[in-house]
Structure 1
Amino acid sequence: MTQNNIPKSPVSLLGLGAMGAALARTWLAAGHPLTVWNRTPARAEALAAEGAKVADSAAAAVAAGGLVVVCLLDDESVGSALDGVDLVGKDLVNLTTTTPAQARARASWAEERGARYLDGGIMAVPPMIGVPEAGGYVFYSGSRELFEMRRTVLAVPVGTEYVGEDPGFAALHDVALLSAMYGMFAGVAHAFALVRRADVDPVAFAPLLADFLSAMAPSVHRTAAQLKSGDYTTGVVSNLAMQVAGTPTFLATAEGEGVSAELLRPYFELMRRRLDTGSGQEDLTGVVDLLLR
């Protein structure tokens, strides 16, 4: 039997929003028998025309196969959709965005109902699904045995990254990376605001900003090494005392350009607090410890 003749694993997919529909189409294109369900049935019509079987209920979709992928709005939607549904013997993969605590609770909930459980955090937007060169992937956590068993079919739409047996780890990694992204976006917004009223072409400014951020990104490795060792003075390029001394310039520039410093002030305050309690020869890594409650 050739590789092309090996039967493809059936998939049952609950949720056909933009992400769910993108996932569905990649499984269909790869030849996987697909059963879909959506609370709003009209969203399934296009997929039916492409070869998907449309279930009239979540229970019917779950019953159609052993692998059940859920991609709904939130954790409450998952509980509502699967309320009373027989999950015994099913492999439940939850790609719904949740908190780590919700993921752990949902894993226990699924196991109590006789299902094996994987939680997933999607690090991609719908246009990246089915496009390997786009670099998207999904964090998975929970049963390693289940992940290894289902890895091939889960990797059809987008890459996979297993991060541990703790069911909450996928959500934790997801939110951690996205939090860093929003912090970057905050800095980008402030940078563009500073040049907004000046005779600076934002299109010409953009590559300068992107290249600088790319050059700064590898510093995360130094931060990680310092956190692991506990020595925040190793490999320091610009120490905390020097950086704190420079913060008035950033605040004065914002004031002079008529730009609010509200995106910068909280971080600058943390830097100053760390200087008051730590060593001026440290890196900025000590700020991490101030955030722990």
Structure 2
Amino acid sequence: MNDENDAPVAVIGLGLMGQALAGTFLKAGHPTTVWNRTTSKAGRLVAAGARLAPTVGDALRAGSVTIICLTDYQAVHELLGATDAELDGTTLINLTSGDSTQAREAARWAEQRGARYLDGAIMAIPSVIGTAEAVILHSGPQPDFEAHESTLAALGTVTYLGADHGLASLYDVAGLAMMWSVLNAWLQGTALLRTAGVDAATYAPFAQQIAAGVAGWLPGYAEQIDSGSYPAEVSALETDARAMAHLIEESEAVGVNAELPRLIKAMADRSIAAGHGGEQYPVLIEEFARPRND
């Protein structure tokens, strides 16, 4: 890590997240330059010691690293492509939300113009930026990450994923899939128990216990997926499918929506029909990996 704690940084884009990023750099002692199309959004930061760049080009020249946090990748291309700012020799870290294809295309675009480029994803809300709770993912050339790791560490828990610029975006959506799946399962259970007068607060500790227990299975299940072998060490998929049917029946009997368990059972039924009923649950990766057009 080559950076000093007072390395200058620039932040382009001052939405709620961009303001949180810039404010955190300021608090950590980094000379911070900011730019935003609507300059009024920089007022609080300027009052706290930030420098407002008159142009995007000026912002790019101001820091040892430039953080970009805009609405989408199209906005990034429109902003940097429309300016006469020189990108050659700059280091760009793009924390704009997008997909892995956009990240790889942005990396090629930036590198063709002589810039060093890292793509990133912020797994946090603005209020926790600057704490360990803020997980910020980075992907791209490792030397470029390591050169600025100590500066980036001011923002939270920074993680390097690999040289593929698309990895941060993929990890981002994979994390969202986990989040929504856990929450949706909890809501399904909560809806079931409310029919018997059990409130969400009473059910939540039990749900936490189950979620933590299932999380403990993941490393072993990952070994099965990576090896392509799914011996039924705990339960066969056909047994799980019978439990899914019970969940569907119970949901319908008490008047609770059964769409989610029906979806998962349909995937299990296809896997069983393909001859995988005697294998363990992770064999469903074959269904998740196969696109459905109907």
**Over aligned residue pairs, what C-alpha RMSD do you find?**
1.5
Name the structure 1 match of 2:162. 164
Partner of 2:33, secondary structure, is strand
Name the structure 2 match of 1:249. 246
Name the structure 2 match of 1:204. 202
**For the residues of structure 2 that align with 1:201 and 1:246, how far apart are their CA atoms?**
24
Query: How much has 1:292 moved relative to structure 2?
Result: 2.2
Name the structure 1 match of 2:95. 95
**For the residues of structure 2 that align with 1:68 and 1:248, how far apart are their CA atoms?**
53
Name the structure 2 match of 1:131. 131
Whether the aligned pair in 2 keeps the contact of 1:18 and 1:126 (CA below 8 Å) is yes
Name the structure 2 match of 1:47. 45
**For the residues of structure 2 that align with 1:9 and 1:278, how far apart are their CA atoms?**
59
- Aligned pairs for 1:72-83 within 5 A: 72-83=70-81
1:124-154 CA distance string (max 9 Å, x none): 222221122x3x3211111111011111101
**For the residues of structure 2 that align with 1:159 and 1:269, how far apart are their CA atoms?**
39
Name the structure 1 match of 2:255. 258
Query: How much has 1:264 moved relative to structure 2?
Result: 1.6
Whether the aligned pair in 2 keeps the contact of 1:44 and 1:54 (CA below 8 Å) is yes
**TM-score, structure 1 length as denominator?**
0.93
**For the residues of structure 2 that align with 1:32 and 1:263, how far apart are their CA atoms?**
48
Name the structure 2 match of 1:104. 104
Greater RCO structure (CA 8 Å; 6+ sep): 2
**For the residues of structure 2 that align with 1:125 and 1:82, how far apart are their CA atoms?**
26
**For the residues of structure 2 that align with 1:195 and 1:37, how far apart are their CA atoms?**
51
1:63 to 2:65 alignment: no
Gaps of 5+ in 1: 1-5
Whether the aligned pair in 1 keeps the contact of 2:245 and 2:265 (CA below 8 Å) is no
The AA in structure 1 aligned to 2:265 is F
Whether the aligned pair in 2 keeps the contact of 1:66 and 1:89 (CA below 8 Å) is no
The AA in structure 2 aligned to 1:17 is G
Whether the aligned pair in 1 keeps the contact of 2:5 and 2:151 (CA below 8 Å) is no
Q: Which consecutive aligned stretches of 4+ in structure 1 deviate over 4 angstroms post-superposition?
A: none
Query: How much has 1:7 moved relative to structure 2?
Result: 6.5
Partner of 1:263, secondary structure, is helix
The AA in structure 1 aligned to 2:151 is V
**For the residues of structure 1 that align with 2:56 and 2:191, how far apart are their CA atoms?**
48
1:194 to 2:180 alignment: no
The AA in structure 1 aligned to 2:25 is W
**For the residues of structure 2 that align with 1:163 and 1:278, how far apart are their CA atoms?**
36
Stretch of structure 1 that moved more, 94-103 or 17-26? 17-26
The AA in structure 2 aligned to 1:246 is A
Name the structure 2 match of 1:220. 218
1:64-83 CA distance string (max 9 Å, x none): 22311101111111112212
**TM-score, structure 2 length as denominator?**
0.92
The AA in structure 1 aligned to 2:77 is G
Identify the match of residue 150 of structure 1 among 148, 151, 174.
148
Name the structure 2 match of 1:3. none
Gaps of 5+ in 2: none
**For the residues of structure 2 that align with 1:161 and 1:143, how far apart are their CA atoms?**
13
1:173-219 CA distance string (max 9 Å, x none): 11111112111122122112212333112211111112211121112
**For the residues of structure 1 that align with 2:230 and 2:16, how far apart are their CA atoms?**
44
State, as a whole percentage, how many aligned pairs show the same letter. 38
Query: How much has 1:253 moved relative to structure 2?
Result: 0.8
Identify the match of residue 290 of structure 1 among 248, 264, 287.
287
